[in-house]
Amino acid sequence: MVAQMGILGWDPHRYYPGGRSSAELWATHRIKLDGNDLSFRANLSTVSDGRLVSYNAGYIDSVAARALVSAVDDTLSRRYHGIRLYHLSDFRTAIVVRNANTSPAALECIEPHEREGDLLDVSRLISMSGRLNPEIVRLNSYLVEAQALLAGNCANTLIPWSPASALNLSPFGSTVGTPIGRTAIVGFMDFLGGIAGSGGMEFHRVGNGRLDTDYAAKGAKVVELLKAGCAFVMCHINSPDEMSHMVDLQGKIYSLEQIDMHIVAPIVRYFRSNGDEHGGVLLLPDHYSNTVIVQPTGCRRDIHSLDPVPFVLWDGVHSDDRETFCESESCAGAYGHPCLHVSQLMPLLFNRGERVAACDSTV
């Protein structure tokens, strides 16, 4: 969510609510937080002998997950006033704690997708420096009881993370310095719907967040919106990210091939066949590909890192002398030195090629 906000021009230092769940709740249930409330993303996960074995409960589907969430919430909401559990999608749920009177920044939570194989103490999944806020103590107790209710299911544990306060964004046009008309986001992830709703953009939910998402439908929707007069469309595809976390190399290669074939190619064809519409396409990932083994582990990362990611900007007019899209080529490209800050991406797209034109490598 931090990456997507930054790409779209909202400075995360100013606007990020500490986590993604408040955006997801707005998108899925139209639930808005008040100033003293907190929400958490909470994964339905699988724990065996105290050890986390699956951060997504074997990728539980939404139908099964929704039934488990309803059972837990129906039982525990009666005893834990002010704490509610909501289903989002697949293994993703959200917990709301009203009047928590705690900043998200004061809390420490594990990120389950980065902790598979670790031993967990469910009674201490949420911690903070100093004395625990009474509402957080209650929430840890809630999680222990939730685990007891879920016993015997593949999804037998709730793991909260990414605590968030309310999301309040300025209009999207203000992030690029000019009114730009109709704008939209095409994607599946709930937090994108929250960003769109708070920032005054349309949200079109297409496909799913898995490897088998409908890539062709996503590409077709983008082209449809461009034809209908949208001045800006963002398309988000979650599958390469999910494949990275699951360490599925073949799945990631497949997802990238589908994106090339069914999303990037149709959009480029659209602009090439409509010469009067001077369009720009900006393509970028959220994972560094980890071509270098990380020491001392001897492994490549399967998590997010602070490494800059490559991007490619196409407008059919300007170019540099790079011919492939990868880390080394990007470093040698027009925007490789110095690396751009994420806040520069939208101005770069809307002023297509401005910095490229000043580069010696322009052809």
Strand order in the sheet with 232-235: 202-205, 183-187, 232-235
Helix (H) or strand (E) holding 47: strand 38-48
Please identify every stretch of the chain with a pLDDT value under 70, giving residue numbers as ranges. Answer: 178-179, 289-303, 352-363
How far the first Cα of the chain sits from its last, in Å, is 36
The length of the chain in residues reads: 363
- Provide the CB-side half-sphere exposure for 305 (13 A, CA): 14
Query: What's residue 361's pLDDT?
Result: 34
Backbone φ, ψ for residue 33 (5° rounding): -85, 150
Query: What's residue 328's pLDDT?
Result: 81
CA 262, CA 259: separation in Å to the nearest integer? 5
Backbone φ, ψ for residue 67 (5° rounding): -65, -40
76: nearest Cα among 93, 90, 58 = 93
Give 175-180's long-range contacts (Cβ < 8 A, gap of 24+). 175/8, 175/9, 175/10, 175/346, 176/9, 176/346, 176/347, 176/350, 177/347, 178/350, 180/231, 180/232, 180/350
One-letter amino acid at 83 equals I
* pTM of this structure: 0.77
CA 206, CA 186: separation in Å to the nearest integer? 7
Going along the chain from its start, the domains and CATH numbers come out as 18-164 (no CATH), 172-357 (3.40.720.10)
Give CA torsion, residues 109, 111, 115, 120, to 10 deg: 30
CA 76, CA 26: separation in Å to the nearest integer? 22
CA 328, CA 30: separation in Å to the nearest integer? 44
Query: What's residue 299's pLDDT?
Result: 65
Q: Say whether 336 sits in a helix, a strand or coil.
A: coil
Question: Is residue 151 classed exposed, middle or buried when 0-12, 13-18 and 19+ CB atoms within 10 A define those classes?
Answer: exposed
CA 362, CA 333: separation in Å to the nearest integer? 10
Q: How many CB atoms lie within 10 A of CB 345?
A: 19
Q: Give residue-wise pLDDT tens across range 196-248.
A: 999 999 999 999 989 999 999 999 999 999 999 999 999 999 999 888 888 88
Q: Which two tokens stand for residue 310?
A: 């490559």
Output the furthest CA–CA distance in the chain (Å, rounded): 68
Q: Give residue-wise pLDDT tens across range 298-339.
A: 666 666 777 788 899 998 888 899 988 888 888 889 888 888
